[in-house]
Structures are given as structure tokens and as C-alpha cells.
Amino acid sequence: MIEALSGAVLIMVLRIFDVTLGTLRTILVVQAKKYHAAITGFFEVLIWIYAMKYIMQHMDNTYNMFGYAIGFGLGNLLGITLEGKIGIGYIQLNIISRKFAKEITVKLRESKYAVTIIPAMGGYGNIDVLVAIISRKQSNQVIKLIEGIDKDCFISVQHSRPYRGYVHGSRK
């Protein structure tokens, strides 16, 4: 019984590692970091092959299937959590504040973040849309700064992959 469970745990751990790497690799591909994605993919598949080899040799053990499935689920969870901590790439923040657009702009610029103001027409009249391209690592800090001025403002976040030009993120 212990041997059967230890095999399932081994499979689970291998799947956690390979799925975590697969999640990170996918994000690296989206961010056009091809060499990092290739290296990550190499280790992802290497681990997966070892897991599959073990599973094929022990197909009669039902625990192995559960270990495989649990490892897959936990690997996704860990991969997404890890990527959130690493903060690869850039995001674009679109900020709409009915009353505090100027104050938000001033505070962001004082904090060395670049902000573009786009005049727009909303359902209630003229309004400014603030756009900032920032490093994902800085997103929580910048959003807290904005919400400290206007907790009711509308903020949308989009993944951004700069194509041309200079993206300096923080000028600190």
C-alpha cells in the first residue's frame, strides 16, 4: 500500500513541476521571450516524459491516475501564482475617474510613471481617459496609488507587448 501511494505522490510531484513550467512557458511565448520559452519547454517535456514512463509502467495502480490529475490541477495553480509573483512583461492601465483624473495624473507623474491623457466623451459629458504602460511587477503598487485618490474610478488592465519605441515603465 505504501509503495502504491508513494508512486502516486511521485507522479503528482512530477506533474506539479511540468505543468507549472508549462504555464510559465505559455506566458513566455505570449510575451515573445522565445529563448526563455524554449529552455523552459525543454525541462517541462523532460519531466513529463519521466512521469509518463512511470505511469505506463504502473498503469494497474488507480492511485497513479489520481496523482496525475491532482498534480495537473496543483501545477496550474502554482504556475499562475508564480507568474503573478514574477510579473513578466508589461500591462496597460486604462483609468477613468469622473472627478479626480488630474490628481491621479499628477500623483502618477510625481511617482515617475508616464501617463497619457486622452480626452473622451462619455455618457455624462467630457471625460479624460488616462493610459499608463507599466511593468507587471509594478501593477499592484500603481493600482493602490490610484485607488488611494479615487476608490470608485474605473480601471481596466490589458496585457501589453510593446512593438516599437521606448517603454521606460518607472523612471525612478
Task: Label residue 87 exposed, middle or buried (CB < 10 Å: 0-12, 13-18, 19+).
Answer: middle
- Residue 123 has φ and ψ, to the nearest 5°, of -65, -20
168 belongs to a structural domain: no
Tell me which residue has cell 508513494: 6
Q: For residues 114 and 64, state if they share a domain.
A: no
70 belongs to a structural domain: yes
Question: What total number of domains does the chain contain?
Answer: 2
Query: How do residues 59-76 score in pLDDT, each as one tens digit?
Result: 788 898 899 999 999 999
Position 108 scores a pLDDT of 96
Q: What is the pTM of this model?
A: 0.68
Q: Residue 81 is part of which domain span?
A: 2-86
Q: For residues 31 and 11, state if they share a domain.
A: yes
Q: What is the mean pLDDT of each run of 10 residues along the chain (172 residues)?
A: 84 94 90 91 95 86 90 94 83 93 96 93 90 90 95 91 62 43
8 A C-beta contact, residue 63 and residue 7: yes
| CA–CA dist 2, 67 (Å, integer) | 14
Position 125 scores a pLDDT of 87
| CA–CA dist 129, 117 (Å, integer) | 6
142 belongs to a structural domain: yes
Closest CA to 72 of 88, 90, 96, 48: 48
Q: In what order do the strands lie in the sheet with 154-160?
A: 116-122, 125-135, 90-96, 154-160
Q: For residues 29 and 54, state if they share a domain.
A: yes
8 A C-beta contact, residue 134 and residue 171: no
Task: Name the domain boundary from 53, 86, 119.
Answer: 86
SS3 call for 121: strand
170 belongs to a structural domain: no
Q: For residues 8 and 34, state if they share a domain.
A: yes
Q: For residues 77 and 102, state if they share a domain.
A: no
Start-to-end CA distance of the chain, whole Å, equals: 58
63 belongs to a structural domain: yes
Q: For residues 65 and 119, state if they share a domain.
A: no
